[in-house]
């Protein structure tokens, strides 16, 4: 999952429009249905697009801070995250995203929960290099850095560039109280991403567990954080492709890298299974997809 919002938003339209590149193509030696093998490659691209779409929700929910809501209710405090983030390559006091949206907090009283934070982008504004429209609505049960608390995100006529996003996203602080190791679980339910130009749509349900493995000693500084990810998902498209996905080797995400750096995901369409390998720890935009013994390099741009 891309936890860096700007990159996640950039790759949505690229992956969804087909600019995932498949190289080193070979003939299928397995004798299996070539249509299913092709569908696995397509489902792999779709899965990564959907991960990117909803990782921005994680980032935005985690980034609500005192500047936004009048009190720290997110994860990273004044450092921010997602659309509220500050760049690691510039003055840390400078925000990377343009505050073109309005924020409504209900109730406004500090420490009173549940609390709803609504980001309203109106009829469209450029937020971090992407045009967002409509509303994102976060409902917090309590301050998110406290174990056991959660935030539920919903959408109202919401879109990023030419893609609408629907569904319910739940982020739970699943850390053990008294420890400094962050752990979060996410659940995406009844998600739907629609290309507003072509009408093509994608449905998706997902469960993920994030466990922090590095950066535990700097609670409000995200840039030294490293997480492992586990979980599974299932998706379908308006073109009739249905797939399931399961993380078979824990994925690794460094907050300083735009891409996952290691781990494997298994993608299944009917009886055909593909394995997507994100590498051995290097920060790059390549992954290796193997289907029926045939390996292809996938480039995420």
Does residue 15 contact residue 48 with C-beta atoms inside 8 Å? Answer: yes
The two three-digit tokens of residue 75, written as one number: 């994860």
What backbone torsions phi and psi does residue 57 show, to the nearest 5 degrees?
-65, -45
Q: Which of 183, 222, 227 is nearest to 81 (CA)?
A: 222
What backbone torsions phi and psi does residue 167 show, to the nearest 5 degrees?
125, -175
- Provide the residue range defining the domain that includes 113: 5-299
Q: In 3-state terms, what secondary structure has residue 40?
A: helix
pTM (two decimals): 0.83
β 183-195/163-173 pair status: antiparallel
pLDDT at 79: 53
**Band of pLDDT at residue 80, cut at 50, 70 and 90:** low
pLDDT tens track for 199-228:
999 999 999 999 999 988 777 677 788 999
CA-to-CA distance for 301 and 293, rounded, in angstroms? 25
pLDDT at 129: 79
Q: Which of 210, 167, 163 is nearest to 59 (CA)?
A: 210
Does residue 58 contact residue 74 with C-beta atoms inside 8 Å? Answer: no
pLDDT at 291: 95
E-strand spans in 51-140? 102-106, 115-120, 125-127, 130-140
pLDDT tens track for 111-135:
999 999 999 999 998 887 789 999 9
CA-to-CA distance for 245 and 265, rounded, in angstroms? 7
Owner of token pair 């739940």: 170
pLDDT at 166: 97
State the total domains in the chain.
1
pLDDT tens track for 18-37:
333 333 333 344 445 678 88
CA-to-CA distance for 119 and 98, rounded, in angstroms? 13
The two three-digit tokens of residue 211, written as one number: 């466990």
Instruction: Answer with the residue of higher pLDDT: 2 or 264.
Output: 264
* DSSP code for 55: H
What backbone torsions phi and psi does residue 293 show, to the nearest 5 degrees?
80, 0
Average pLDDT of the residues in 270-279:
95
Q: Name the percent of the chain lying above pLDDT 70.
A: 80
Does residue 247 contact residue 229 with C-beta atoms inside 8 Å? Answer: yes
């Amino acid at each position: 999952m891309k936890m860096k919002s700007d990159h996640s938003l950039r790759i949505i339209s690229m992956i969804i429009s087909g600019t995932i590149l498949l190289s080193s193509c070979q003939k299928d030696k397995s004798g299996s249905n070539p249509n299913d093998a092709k569908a696995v490659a397509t489902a792999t691209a779709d899965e990564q697009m959907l991960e990117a779409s909803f990782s921005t929700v994680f980032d935005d929910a985690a980034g609500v801070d005192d500047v936004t809501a009048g009190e720290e209710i997110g994860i990273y405090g004044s450092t921010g995250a997602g659309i509220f983030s500050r760049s690691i390559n510039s003055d840390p006091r400078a925000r990377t995203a343009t505050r073109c949206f309005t924020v409504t907090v209900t109730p406004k009283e500090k420490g009173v929960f549940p609390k709803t934070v609504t980001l309203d982008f109106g009829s469209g504004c450029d937020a971090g290099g992407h045009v967002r429209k409509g509303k994102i609505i976060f409902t917090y049960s309590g301050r998110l850095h406290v174990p056991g608390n959660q935030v539920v995100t919903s959408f109202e006529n919401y879109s990023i560039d030419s893609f609408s996003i629907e569904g319910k996203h739940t982020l739970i602080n699943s850390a053990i109280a008294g420890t400094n190791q962050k752990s979060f679980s996410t659940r995406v339910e009844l998600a739907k991403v629609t290309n507003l130009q072509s009408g093509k749509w994608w449905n998706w349900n997902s469960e993920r567990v994030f466990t922090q493995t590095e950066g535990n000693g700097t609670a409000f500084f995200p840039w030294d954080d490293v997480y492992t990810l586990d979980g599974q998902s299932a998706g379908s498209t308006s073109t009739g492709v249905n797939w399931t996905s399961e993380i078979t080797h824990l994925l690794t995400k460094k907050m300083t890298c735009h891409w996952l750096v290691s781990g494997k995901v298994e993608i299944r369409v009917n009886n055909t299974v593909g394995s997507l390998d994100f590498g051995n720890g290097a920060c790059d935009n390549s992954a290796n997809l193997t289907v029926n013994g045939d390996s292809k390099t996938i480039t995420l741009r």
